[in-house]
Homo-oligomer: A and B are copies of this chain.
Amino acid sequence: MSAKASSNVKIVDCTIRDGGLVNNWDFSVEFVQHLYSSLNEAGVEYMEIGYKNSPKLLKGADSAGPWRFLDDEFLRKVIPQKLNTKLSALVDIGRVDADDVLPREESLLDLIRVACYIQDVDKALELVQLFHDRGYETTLNIMALSNVMEHQLLEAFEQINDSVVDVVYIVDSYGSLLPNDFRLLVEKFKKHLPNKRLGVHTHNNMQLAFANTLISAEYGVELLDASVYGMGRAAGNCPTELLVANLKNSRYSLRPVLDMIEKHMIPLREKEEWGYIIPYMITGMLDEHPRSAMALRNTEDKDKSVEFYDKLTTPEVSFGG
């Protein structure tokens, strides 16, 4: 049974960028090349090939793979021939050096996305303006929306309406939102941002990443973030294969995505961990950042979820009772 969605829907595959948070961006060039040709063959519109933050502005940068600090010259070696799938990079507020950003006609990148928390929307929109002026498509990705107060959001909407940004993202950073929450958020964003296109980025803490993405598409969201086999930080993201298989759109083809999964993702999943895992479910239901669960998963007690749940829900150790 295929899903209703606008014919303008586009998939943004984030396997390398968000998946890099799992393996410290330790993807081989061959892996990334195979992913690019697979996504292109599958008809996926965008591939987010990494972060374009500056290593000068980040601690611990040395150990990370090259996809964490995309360099245009390196990128040209990885993708000697551009295909239909456009390339995207994400930047964080305060971690990007404007001097690193070439004009679009000199870069392989098409889309630059700026991620920020609600209090930094103004700074994010300054960066958006810079990238826009250099010719890129732009998005603003407001993280942790489940923790944003109404008046903050309304203020941000005003700033966004005055900006050049092309697409505004609803980001469920903690994987805490239910289908109804997405429906209400999409309706609110549409009402307050009538001239902006919308995107969603979901997390799979409660096995809702795909459902929330589908429902958002049905309510008019155009850019849908996903990653192959769901690879992404902690519980991971909406699986690309599920969108490709189910969106009512004959331009998508599942077979190349299955090929990528078979050749690369199944072996990778044996070494690295992501997906529906109980401690991530717990941080999701509690509407919290998964960092405590990620720390737990690195210990011998990784499956001791009762104790973990008790810790997170004991009033004495919470703020303010």
**Interface presence of A110 (CB below 8 A):** no
- A245 touching B281, Cβ below 8 Å: yes
Question: CA A261 – CA B212 in complex, angstroms?
Answer: 26
Q: Which residues of B contact A261 (CB under 8 A)?
A: 278, 305
Q: Does A41 contact B (CB under 8 A)?
A: no
A244 to chain B, nearest CB (A): 10
Partner-binding segment picked from A57-65, A132-140, A201-209: A201-209
A303 interface contact, C-beta 8 A: yes
Find residues 165-209 in chain A having any chain B CB closer than 8 Å to their own CB: 176-181, 204, 206-209
With A1-B146, A207-B204, A211-B208 known as contacts, the answer to whether A246 contacts B285 (CB < 8 A) is yes
A255:B306 contact, CB within 8 angstroms: yes
Tally of contact residues, A, Cβ under 8 A = 46
Q: Tell me the minimal C-beta distance from A203 to chain B in angstroms.
A: 13
- A69: Cβ under 8 A from any B Cβ: no
- Please indicate the chain B residues that have their CB under 8 angstroms from the CB of A211 in the complex: 179, 207-208, 210-212
Copy total for this chain: 2
* Residue from the list B177, B276, B303 in contact with A266, Cβ < 8 A: B303
A4 within 8 A of B: yes
Within 8 A of B (CB), among A230-266: 239, 241-242, 245-246, 254-255, 258-259, 261-262, 266
Select one of B204, B210, B287, B309 contacting A1, CB under 8 A. B287
Q: Mark A263-292, 1 if CB is under 8 A from B, else 0.
A: 000100000000010100110010100000
Q: Is A214 an interface residue (CB 8 A)?
A: yes
A3 at the binding interface (Cβ < 8 Å): yes
**List of B residues within 8 angstroms of A215 by Cβ:** 179
Contact in complex: B208, A278 (CB < 8 Å):
no
Known: A179-B214, A303-B262. A207 touches B206 (CB 8 A): no
Give CA–CA (A3, B241) in the complex, Å: 27
* A304 CB-CB contact with B under 8 Å: yes
Given contacts A179-B179, A261-B278, 6 further A-B contacts (CB under 8 A): A1-B178, A178-B246, A179-B215, A204-B207, A208-B210, A276-B276
- The list of the 10 closest CB pairs from A to B, nearest first, reads A211-B211, A245-B285, A1-B181, A258-B305, A207-B210, A258-B306, A266-B303, A259-B306, A1-B178, A3-B178
